[in-house]
């Protein structure tokens, strides 16, 4: 099979019939064998009834329904698990992504050799309240991850089948799939400018809180990818440095007190100086950070995945 189109959805009953017909038409015109995988993320409307009707008329449609709303990452992960196409394309169900982009995305995967191609909504049909925070979010993601993409959160993406079978998307990490892909060893990541349409049916399911969650997820993913298997390198280093700074400061205060006493100079008690408490606090925090790193290292060493590595090729193994 050439293409699997994975579409997570939540309360999108009005757009589904038109979207599936649109995708099917594009695939047939380009002579691509395909499947459309619809993941109903616990919709509260009649989306699942619409999916059942669509699947009766279109045998290329496969679908899963969650008992409750788990989030976009869970839907994508489940879709990736059952996708059979050589190229896996993800898109949103709100009809803002254009299925006519799919053939070129597939060509870039198959012919240009990309592991993943991310869409870039260069001209967005969204209100300023969504565009401005999104630009700041993407700028921050570029700086932290080192991946030069303009639109990390674009729902329209294409992957080689091998990629989606070797990554795990969880929590709210769908925003950072390029980073997850890179961390899994698939570094050939491309970008394509794609058309972005105004929402035709319903309303957006995301509010301003997604930017706060997105920032926290970025910090979490950045930490896990760099120090997930060696937490002592981070916490141990920070703890040691902080303890040394506090210890040196305490020694300095004590030395100055002794020097002044040796010269017969009356001086205040060391404990009367605020710097004594700052140095003591630094030593305590340093010790706690070191212990946190040590405990984290013990947990990592006892993890069943401590020696789980991505292997690209095998010969006689």
What is the reported pLDDT for 314? 55
Cβ atoms of 253 and 273 within 8 Å: the answer is yes
Structure tokens at 264: 């017969």
Q: Which of 218, 7, 30, 41 is nearest to 110 (CA)?
A: 30
Phi, psi of 6 (to 5 degrees): -100, 125
Cβ atoms within 10 Å, residue 170: 13
Measure the CA–CA gap between 41 and 59, rounded to whole angstroms.
21
Asked if residue 177 and residue 30 are part of one domain, the reply reads yes
What is the reported pLDDT for 42? 92
CA–CA–CA angle 42, 64, 4 (5° rounding): 125
What is the reported pLDDT for 119? 94
User: Is residue 310 domain-resident?
Assistant: no
Q: Which of the listed residues 175, 201, 227 is the one where a domain comes to its end?
A: 227
Phi-psi region of 101 (alpha: psi -120 to 50; beta: other; left: phi over 0): alpha
User: Is residue 189 domain-resident?
Assistant: yes
Beta-bridged to residue 8, according to DSSP, are: 39
User: Is residue 21 domain-resident?
Assistant: yes
Q: Which of 50, 63, 68 is nearest to 6 (CA)?
A: 63
Structure tokens at 81: 């698990």
What is the reported pLDDT for 313? 52
Radius of gyration of the chain (CA): 26
What is the reported pLDDT for 112? 95
Asked if residue 183 and residue 257 are part of one domain, the reply reads no
SS3 content of the chain, % helix, strand, coil (to 5): 50, 10, 35
What is the reported pLDDT for 307? 47
What is the reported pLDDT for 47? 93
Asked if residue 16 and residue 115 are part of one domain, the reply reads yes
Low-confidence ranges of the chain (pLDDT < 70): 126-131, 202-219, 221, 224-225, 228-229, 300-301, 303-317
CATH number where 114 lies: 3.90.550.10
Beta-bridged to residue 4, according to DSSP, are: 35, 88
Cβ-proximal residues to 108 (8 Å cutoff; 6+ apart), any chain: 114, 117, 158, 190, 192
Total tally of structural domains belonging to the chain: 2
Cβ atoms of 40 and 12 within 8 Å: the answer is no
> Domain limits at 293?
231-301
């Amino acid at each position: 099979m050439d293409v699997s189109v994975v579409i997570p959805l939540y309360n999108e009953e009005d757009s589904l019939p038109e979207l599936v017909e649109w995708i099917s038409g594009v695939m047939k015109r380009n002579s691509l064998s395909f499947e459309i995988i619809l993941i109903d993320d616990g919709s509260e409307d009649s989306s699942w009834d619409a999916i059942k009707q669509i699947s009766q008329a279109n045998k290329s449609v496969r679908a899963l329904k969650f008992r409750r709303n788990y989030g976009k990452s869970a839907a994508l992960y489940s879709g990736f698990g059952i996708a059979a196409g050589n190229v896996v394309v993800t898109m949103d169900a709100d009809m803002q992504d254009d299925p006519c982009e799919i053939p070129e995305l597939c060509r870039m995967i198959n012919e240009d050799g990309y592991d993943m191609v991310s869409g870039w909504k260069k001209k967005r049909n969204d209100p300023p309240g969504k565009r401005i925070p999104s630009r700041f979010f993407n700028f921050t993601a570029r700086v932290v991850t080192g991946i030069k993409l303009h639109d990390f959160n674009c729902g329209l993406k294409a992957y080689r089948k091998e990629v989606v079978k070797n990554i795990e998307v969880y929590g709210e990490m769908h925003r950072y799939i390029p980073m997850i892909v890179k961390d899994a060893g698939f570094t050939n990541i491309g970008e394509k400018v794609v058309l972005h349409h105004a929402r035709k049916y319903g309303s957006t399911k995301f509010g301003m809180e997604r930017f706060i969650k997105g920032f926290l997820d970025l910090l979490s993913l950045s930490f896990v990818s760099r120090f997930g298997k060696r937490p002592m390198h981070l916490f141990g280093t920070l703890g040691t440095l902080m303890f040394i700074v506090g210890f040196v400061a305490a020694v300095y205060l004590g030395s100055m007190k002794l020097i002044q006493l040796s010269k017969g100079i009356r001086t205040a008690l060391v404990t009367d100086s605020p710097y004594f408490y700052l140095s003591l606090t630094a030593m305590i925090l340093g010790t706690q950070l070191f212990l946190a790193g040590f405990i984290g290292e013990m947990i990592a060493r006892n993890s069943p995945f401590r020696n789980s590595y991505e292997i690209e090729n095998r010969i006689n193994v």
